[in-house]
Amino acid sequence: MPLPPRAEILGFIAEREALELTLQRFPLVSREHLRALLREAALLMRAEELGVPDGEPPLPQPPPPRPEPGASAPDEPRGTERKALRLFTDGAARGNPGPAGAGAVLCRPDGTLVAKCGRFLGTQTNNFAEYMGLVIGLETALRLGAEELEVCADSELLVRQLTGAYRVKSPTLKPLHQKARELLARFSRTSLRHVPREENRLADEMSNRAIDEKL
């Protein structure tokens, strides 16, 4: 029995596979974008198999990317836009290690405050607290039904580790890093951004309040 065409195989993967491992490996890539890449590759292979010469009409393009967070797609009626939120996270440790707290603040793209949360962590390091701030923020965003999420953090280490620029060497941080990646994979679209401390003031306040009030 001959092998099926490569384009057919890629098209099947794009439509039927869950793609979970790939999404976990690349948490900033949405499932829809990944499927579009596979469809585009399948179309190019199909053209190659059919011998479509240069200069022929272009092949059908993959579906357009989703609109930016908070914006409606051109062909969708108002009220059907995907729920987008912005998450600010932070962590604090007084002594490093010392009394530690994690904080997270969620708002809409227009800046409207949606939720604030904090958690006292006992004696921990600053990096542990930073990761916990992210984890509790992601969990809260999922409970609120967010589908698209922009994550803002003032920890360069956290952002670079989650984007793959830095390796995670600490055995204490590895399970938190994995947990954060798993949570990020549950959104249809995510982005991570390193922000100055002054832009992260509310999350910083929540992480210190968690220490002061033993939240």
Residues 214 and 122: their CA atoms lie apart, in Å, by 9
Nearest to 206 by CA among 76, 74, 107: 107
* Confidence class for position 20, pLDDT limits 50, 70, 90: confident
What phi, psi does 14 have (nearest 5°)?
Answer: -60, -35
Neighbouring residues of 17: CB distance < 8 A, sequence distance ≥ 6: none
* Confidence class for position 12, pLDDT limits 50, 70, 90: confident
pLDDT of residue 10: 77
Tally of residues, the chain: 215
Return the higher-pLDDT residue of 188 and 24: 188
pLDDT of residue 27: 61
Residue 110 has pLDDT above 80, yes or no: yes
Residue 6 has pLDDT above 70, yes or no: yes
Supply 1's token pair: 């029995």
pLDDT of residue 60: 43
pTM: 0.63
For the chain, give the mean pLDDT. Answer: 82
Residues 19 and 154: their CA atoms lie apart, in Å, by 31
- Going from N- to C-terminal start, the domains of the chain cover 1-67, 84-213
Helix extents (H) in the chain: 6-16, 20-25, 31-50, 126-143, 156-162, 174-184, 201-213
Residue 179 has pLDDT above 90, yes or no: yes
DSSP letters spanning 79-113? T----EEEEEEEEEESSSSEEEEEEEEEE-TT--E
| CATH homologous superfamily of 84-213 | Ribonuclease H-like superfamily/Ribonuclease H (3.30.420.10)
Span of 9-13, 122-126, 143-147, 159-163 with lowest mean pLDDT? 9-13
| 185-211 pLDDT per residue, tens | 999 999 999 999 999 999 999 999 999
Nearest to 109 by CA among 143, 74, 90, 82: 82
| 51-82 pLDDT per residue, tens | 544 444 444 444 444 444 444 333 333 333 45
